[in-house]
Chains A and B, each alone.
Chain A
Amino acid sequence: MSEQQTPANDNQAGSPQDDVTHFGFRDVPKNQKAGQVAEVFHSVAGKYDLMNDLMSMGIHRLWKRFTIELSGVRPGHQVLDIAGGTGDLTMKFSDLVGPTGKVVLADINASMLQVGRGRLMDRGYAGNIEFAQADAEHLPFPDNTFNAVSIAFGLRNVTDKDQALRDMARVLKPGGKLMVLEFSKPTNPLLNKAYDMYSFNALPLMGQLFAGDSESYKYLAESIRMHPDQDTLKGMMEQAGLVNCKYYNMTGGIVALHVGIKP
Chain B
Amino acid sequence: MFPGPTLLSAMTAVVEGALNRALELDPAGRKALMGALTGPVEFTLTAPLHLTFTLYQTGDRVQVCSQPAEIPALQLAGKPMAFAALATGDGEVFRHGRIQVTGDTALAHQFQRALNQLAPDWEAALAQHIGDVPAHFIGQRIRGAVKWSRQAFTALNANIEEYVHEESRTLPGRRELEATFEDIDQLSLHTERLEARLGLLERHTNEEPPETP
Please tell me which stretch of B5-13, B79-87, B115-123 contacts chain A, meaning at least 4 of its Cβ atoms lie within 8 angstroms of it.
Answer: B5-13
Complex Cα distance, B58 from A70, in Å, reads: 15
B67 at the interface (CB under 8 A from A): yes
Structural contact, B13 and A249, CB atoms closer than 8 A: no
Q: In the complex, which of the residues A61, A96, A257 contacts B5, with contact meaning CB atoms closer than 8 Å?
A: A257
A249 to B6, CA, bound (A): 9
Are B13 and A65 in contact, with the CB atoms below 8 A? yes
CB pair B6 A66 closer than 8 Å? yes
A interface bracket (residues with beta carbon within 8 Å of B): 10 to 19
Contact between B58 and A69 (Cβ–Cβ < 8 Å)? no
CA distance A77 to B70 in the complex (A): 15
Contact A66 B9 (CB under 8 A): yes
Q: B residues 179-197 with Cβ under 8 Å of A?
A: none
Q: Is the CB of A63 within 8 A of B9?
A: yes
B49-84 to A contact mask, C-beta < 8 Å, 1/0: 000000000110101011100100000000000000
Nearest-neighbor residue (CB-CB) of B67 within chain A: A69
Whether B5 contacts A248 by the Cβ 8 Å rule is yes
Is A46 close to B, CB under 8 A? no
**CB-defined contacts of B67 to chain A, threshold 8 Å:** 69-70
**A/B interface sample: 5 pairs, CB < 8 A:** A62-B10, A66-B8, A69-B9, A95-B59, A96-B58
| Known interface pairs A66-B6, A69-B66; 17 further A-B residue pairs with C-beta atoms within 8 A, sorted by A's residue number | A61-B13, A62-B6, A62-B10, A63-B9, A65-B12, A66-B5, A66-B8, A66-B9, A72-B70, A95-B58, A95-B59, A98-B59, A248-B5, A249-B5, A250-B5, A250-B6, A257-B5
